[in-house]
Chains A and B, each alone.
Chain A
Amino acid sequence: MQDAFIQVWRQAGRFDPARGSAAAWLIALARYRALDLIRRHGREIPVAEPPDRADDAPDALDVLTRTAEGAALHRCLEGLEPERRRLVVMAFVRGLSHGELAAALRIPLGTVKSSIRRSLQSLRACLDR
């Protein structure tokens, strides 16, 4: 996180308010930095974990409804099949790659890739409506 925020200050001039929200930009930069570290040096937490984590709980997504943008995303996620929704949320929250998702959930890599693609297409169509 520290590196991510240092990167933010260095790149602050590149932020264009006309193109996106500042919060989303900050979140994205912090996540990208974390993903870089994970992909390069591996993660400290094992990928395969018992399925009782917050992102797997049925009502975990309810926190999204606190903001208007979150409520829209929540509604669109609810429109996905439960397994696909779980894949998308796990990927975002835990920073898992296609391969890691396949290993963690014991489903074929091709299935993970096509599920993510279809989920993203559905989300985009739903959110941009």
Chain B
Amino acid sequence: MTDDQDPPDLAGEYVLGTLDGAARAAAEARLAHDPAFAAAVTAWQDRLAPLAALAAPADPPAAVWEQIAAAAAPPPRRVGLGVRFWQASTAGALALAAALAGIMLLRPPAPAPGPAAMAVLAGRSGLPVFVAVARAGQLVLRPVGAVTAVPAGREMELWVLKAGATSPRPLGALPAIGRTGPAGAPVATGAELLVSVEPAGGAPGGVPTGPVIYRGKLAPL
């Protein structure tokens, strides 16, 4: 049947997922070199996305996140360079090791339930460095790329810029393992998370003074 090769809504069938193995592979190959087809697929993704609400929610075990962070981290060579570079500064090396090894948890004093959102924080190169997940008033940041080493005497500080706001609100220093984050979460969808380099102890006056090195918008989960 020739119409099997190219039905009018091949893109729709691809997104819906009804294509069998070979037809699915052919459609996938076509995505790479057929911009019109790729655009049609994007349009169908947007049209059908609400159906995902029908799937039963399932929270993956914590180990899954650990493995995602490990697999998404850059090759060890780059990490090694960073560590060597920062052996001169104990604080810097510790911060980098902590950032690469673990999870940063900012827990507001009174966790309030709220919509879940996530953001991918990236530097100017566009490569993802942190993944932030905001859920139930809690914001969890996880390094997924090479975190920039911060000069001695300085630290990374996390900020939230609400949609429409002109100045960001400080959320605390990174890494903040085991540290209680300042009040202010939950973080609303549509807000942007920023990471700037500040003097140790936090930006004086509660406004960013150093360069913003990572940023990412929170999108609903």
Contact = CB atoms under 8 A, between A and B. Distances in A.
Nearest to B38: A19
Interface in A12-40: 12-13, 19-28, 31-32, 35, 39-40
Interface residues of B, number: 46
A31 B48 CA distance: 12
B53 A70 contact: yes
Nearest to A72: B50
B190 to A, nearest CB: 11
A70 B50 contact: yes
Chain B, interface SS category: helix
A25 B128 CA distance: 16
B200 interface: no
Contact of A21 (B46, B55, B131): B46
A88 B9 CA distance: 13
A112 B18 CA distance: 10
Interface string A101-112: 100000000001
Contact of B64 (A2, A24, A73, A98): A2
B88 interface: no
Contact of B47 (A2, A12, A73): A73
Nearest to B73: A9
A28 B49 contact: yes
Nearest to B9: A120
Chain A, interface SS category: helix
B144 A39 contact: no
B221 interface: yes
Nearest to A22: B219
A55 B54 contact: yes
Given A64-B50, A97-B20, A13 B127 contact: yes
B15 A23 contact: no
Interface string A42-71: 000000000000110000110110110110
Q: Which 7 pairs across A and B sit closest by C-beta, in order of nearness?
A: A70-B50, A24-B49, A120-B12, A28-B45, A9-B72, A22-B219, A120-B9
